[in-house]
Structure 1
């Protein structure tokens, strides 16, 4: 597995590189967005770690460009020195699969990387090769999603979330439960789930059956009269 770490701080790159290499991963470094883009185009990158505030293009712009390009499925973890919720949510909205706020534990970041990679290559939770929900068809082995025959590009985490919901239709899961079952976290910001749900609804359009069950959480295909909050 080859990991890109893009950060203008050489100390951060060095520490992260050492921890990831201990886990048997190959690491490619970049000190700015332009170099990171060149690395992404030149090498087969399995996951990118992007600093939000690195020299241009910054992490947000680079993430947005990746999601609009040929390698839109690359898992992305965003690094930010800012603690404000708006910055974290912005990263998630443009397509980041995860984020870590500086200062951070290199071991924690390495564990996040392992979690994202493991779930990216895992089969759908049901173990079935194909999951369906109305006009939606999800193929776990190929990691593809089609709506009425038209391909829909999802990030790694969006795919995992959709697969989990389709494999557990009608069941209600709280944001805490989704963090544990889909992200593999027993801690974390629950707004991560909120943003991914909103992104999934937008990409699936009218085919989405992700419902908000008030006071409980989210479910695929629950009764509409139980309520849905499109802003969540």
Structure 2
């Protein structure tokens, strides 16, 4: 993205006061903002403007809620847009579900505008960490590699026998980074920054442990790995060819 172009943010929240507060604050901090109250208005804004750099999406919305909208965004042509989810609920399960559906981070209401801005910038930074020629443009609903397929909508693995292997949000994000950038050596800092949302697992556990867990899911022998290979003193490389399927 051109450094001189301000970030374009789409806010989806049915609370007019929050829309106005966030719009004023983000514009003051150099961003362009469109704020709408419902999923229907969100789709109209996406149709009119093409894309946004990030979507701030409220969990509790009239009609389609934020979970449903997040799922639809991740399964459509706008799947690459980062999503920061807002929630007034205290139920941890709702926040985890939002992350499982593809939200990049979440923030519980009430929140300080400064914290939202910090999280927004962190999500954008992670999304842009890799150079443009290393970012995936794949819009396939399934990615095939070796004996496996990854369902990018339901976010689970499928083995050669059709058996589904569930993945945590952290495991899915790490595997997706590998599949988006096969044959590229990625160091641990890149992997951590590209995958860490509000999933505490990635703050408390190392990338090495996450790779070990993925290898177990893939039945990949760490001594002679077929998929995720360790590059001494550098990081990891996903060595299998990846094919996008409809």
Give TM class, smaller chain.
0.5 to 0.7
Superposed displacement of residue 3, structure 1: 0.5
Of residues 177, 187, 190, the one that matches 2:200 is 190
Q: Is the partner of 1:112 in helix, strand or coil?
A: helix
Task: Verify the 8 A CA contact 2:196 2:203 in the aligned structure 1.
Answer: no
Instruction: Judge which range, 146-155 or 59-68, deviates more.
Output: 146-155
Unaligned runs of 5+ in 2: 1-6, 156-169, 205-209, 223-227, 231-246
The match for 1:30 is 36
Q: Is the partner of 2:73 in helix, strand or coil?
A: helix
Runs of 4+ displaced beyond 2 Å? 142-155, 157-166, 181-185, 191-194, 205-210
Cα distance in 2 between the residues matched to 1:42 and 1:207: 45
Task: Verify the 8 A CA contact 2:177 2:194 in the aligned structure 1.
Answer: no
The answer on 1:68 being equivalent to 2:88 is no
Cα distance in 1 between the residues matched to 2:31 and 2:46: 16
The answer on 1:11 being equivalent to 2:26 is no
Superposed displacement of residue 104, structure 1: 0.6
Q: Is the partner of 2:34 in helix, strand or coil?
A: strand
Q: Is the partner of 2:67 in helix, strand or coil?
A: helix
Count matched residues: 182
Of residues 85, 97, 103, the one that matches 2:104 is 97
Deviations 1:56-112 (A, max 9, x none): 211111111111111111100110001211010010111111100000111111111
CA gap of 1:114–1:206, structure 2 versus 1, over 3 A, is: same
The match for 1:110 is 117
Cα distance in 1 between the residues matched to 2:18 and 2:220: 40
Larger Rg: 2
CA gap of 1:68–1:153, structure 2 versus 1, over 3 A, is: same
Unaligned runs of 5+ in 1: 130-138, 211-219, 223-232
Task: Verify the 8 A CA contact 2:26 2:117 in the aligned structure 1.
Answer: yes
Task: Verify the 8 A CA contact 2:174 2:195 in the aligned structure 1.
Answer: no
The answer on 1:162 being equivalent to 2:177 is yes
Cα distance in 2 between the residues matched to 1:16 and 1:160: 34
Task: Verify the 8 A CA contact 1:5 1:30 in the aligned structure 2.
Answer: yes
TM-score by length of 1: 0.63
Cα distance in 2 between the residues matched to 1:71 and 1:151: 19
Superposed displacement of residue 114, structure 1: 1.0
Cα distance in 1 between the residues matched to 2:99 and 2:152: 16
Deviations 1:115-148 (A, max 9, x none): 1112212226xxxx8xxxxxxxxx62x3357754
Cα distance in 2 between the residues matched to 1:34 and 1:112: 26
TM-score by length of 2: 0.59
Task: Verify the 8 A CA contact 1:119 1:160 in the aligned structure 2.
Answer: no
Task: Verify the 8 A CA contact 2:75 2:152 in the aligned structure 1.
Answer: no
